[in-house]
Amino acid sequence: MVRTSLDDLRPAEEHLGILAKDLRLVFGIWVIITTIIALFSKEIIEQWMFSLGNLIEGSTVYSPERWLRLRWGIVLLVGMLVVAPYFLIVLNRFTRPGLLPKERILMSTASV
């Protein structure tokens, strides 16, 4: 097994505990941002429909269930897009000590 210069010998429980803590933080931030976006979701949808202009002229959503699916789908998607850069930073920070130099470069390039 190849050891990297940044590699620490830690028990698996400690390593997974760090990952769980980081993922809880990312999930908490996602919940907060999704809640904030939910407050403005109607305006986001209206702006999106307005920006499409004539492409969707005459399209309406009559069903309350479809309206809720559209609204919450947009809220969840925008929330994930906003949190994705922070998630990639956390993922890069978590995996960095165990990666070889070429793998670090690949990980940094993939997360940009």
Per-residue pLDDT of 85-107, as tens digits, reads 999 989 888 888 888 888 888 88
**Global model pTM greater than 0.75:** no
Each residue of 36-83: pLDDT tens digit? Answer: 999 988 888 888 878 877 766 666 666 888 888 888 998 999 999 999
pLDDT over 70 at 8, yes or no: no
Q: Please give the distance of CA 53 from its chain centroid, rounded to a whole number.
A: 29
Q: With beta carbons less than 8 A apart as the criterion, state whether 76 and 50 touch.
A: no
DSSP string covering 20-43: HHHHHHHHHHHHHHHHHHHHTHHH
Dig out the tokens for 90 from the structure: 């956390």
Structure-block tokens of residue 32: 């907060």
Chain CA centroid to CA 23, Å: 11
Mean pLDDT (the chain) is 84
